[in-house]
Amino acid sequence: MADPGTPRHIEIKDDDQTVAAAEVTASQEDGGTAQASLHAASGHIAPGSRASLVDAVMDLPEVKASAVESHCPAR
């Protein structure tokens, strides 16, 4: 497991192109929260790329050990 408080960077690639990425930081407290900032490339990307990024974030041990909060920006 990465050091809590140290950001983790995750990338989903299609060939050599990064199509989605996330920065994840977990609280240093036991049972604290994890914050993730997810970004997908603009335009068309391979189906499932965004879901793969969410799955990769949710599978991180520090996220599994944290409370999960979700915030979606309004358009």
Q: What is the mean pLDDT of residues 20-49?
A: 89
Cβ atoms 28, 46 nearer than 8 A: no
Whether 43 is covered by a domain: the verdict is yes
State percent of the chain over pLDDT 90: 52
* Mean pLDDT, the chain, whole residue set: 86
From the CB of residue 6, how many other CB atoms can be counted at a distance below 10 Å? 11
Whether 71 is covered by a domain: the verdict is no
Cβ atoms 58, 64 nearer than 8 A: yes
Whether 1 is covered by a domain: the verdict is no
23: containing domain: 8-64
pTM: 0.82
Q: What angle do CA 64, 23, 54 make, to 5 degrees?
A: 55
Q: Which residue has the higher pLDDT, 75 or 19?
A: 19
Whether 3 is covered by a domain: the verdict is no
Cβ atoms 61, 24 nearer than 8 A: no
pLDDT in tens, 43-66: 999 999 999 999 999 999 988 888
Chain mean position to CA 18: 14
Number of domains in the chain: 1
